[in-house]
A and B are shown apart, each in its own frame.
Chain A
Amino acid sequence: DAKTTQPTSMDCAEGRAANLPCNHSTISGNEYVYWYRQIHSQGPQYIIHGLKNNETNEMASLIITEDRKSSTLILPHATLRDTAVYYCIVRGRTALIFGKGTTLSVSS
């Protein structure tokens, strides 16, 4: 499975867009990019996933570069409840492989 690199932490002001980057330079052609988040001591929550095209749902947007070596998760209007650890995962085999993720802190 391809590995991912994410910043350890990021800050965002409430109401502003949060842009979380992820590098996955070794991704292979049939691997998807998944994003999950985990609010303190809760189970991870699925956010969005994509292969090549940009994706948008009610929670977020996912922008994948043309060469697929990096992606950005966008939370358009961050709220205090978006404070969590965000995991970028490249999906290969059966199970998800979680890294350390990015701790996003949203403040008022």
Chain B
Amino acid sequence: ETGVTQTPRHLVMGMTNKKSLKCEQHLGHNAMYWYKQSAKKPLELMFVYNFKEQTENNSVPSRFSPECPNSSHLFLHLHTLQPEDSALYLCASSQPGRTSTDTQYFGPGTRLTVL
């Protein structure tokens, strides 16, 4: 248990569906992240939020729409996805500092399958 929870743990959706992934952290952190891990590939950063503001978008297609209503919650809204978007979606949080030492803690991930 890392203090970062994700729901749902598994999701199957059609290409025309709209769904949302939820992440919640109980660590008092102010930075939250979305990562994508496709089969047999390294984790890829998608989005970064610092103090509720998006500070990084790693060229993610607009069919993925993040939302960060407060420092404890992060959502990833999904619409008109493609089968190649099937992957493990991971959320992480950290407490930003002045140096490069803010450790990220990851949630268990949501396994997404797009049919």
Contacts and interface: CB of A to CB of B under 8 A. Distances in A.
Interface of A: 30-32, 34, 41-46, 49, 91-101
Interface of B is mostly: strand
Contacts of A49: 101, 103
Contact of A30 (B31, B33, B100, B109): B100
A106 B74 CA distance: 36
Given A49-B101, A100-B42, A94 B2 contact: no
A97 B100 CA distance: 13
B100 A98 contact: no
Interface residues of B, number: 25
Contacts of B105: 46
A92 B99 CA distance: 9
Interface of B: 2, 4, 31, 33, 42-43, 45, 48, 50, 55-56, 88, 90, 92, 99-101, 103-109, 111
B48 A94 contact: yes
B100 A32 contact: yes
Given A95-B56, A99-B42, A41 B111 contact: yes
- The residue in B33, B50, B106 that gathers the most chain A C-beta atoms within 10 A of its C-beta is B106
Contact of A95 (B48, B103, B111): B48
A43 B111 CA distance: 11
Given A32-B101, A34-B103, A49-B103, A95 B108 contact: no
Given A41-B88, A42-B109, A100-B42, 6 more contacts: A32-B100, A43-B4, A46-B104, A46-B106, A92-B100, A95-B56
Contacts of A100: 42
Which of A34, A94, A101 gathers most chain B CB within 10 Å?
A: A94
A91 B99 CA distance: 10
A40 to B, nearest CB: 11
> Which residue, A31, A32, A44, A46, has most C-beta atoms of chain B within 10 A?
A44
B101 A98 contact: no
Nearest to B90: A43
Nearest to B96: A94
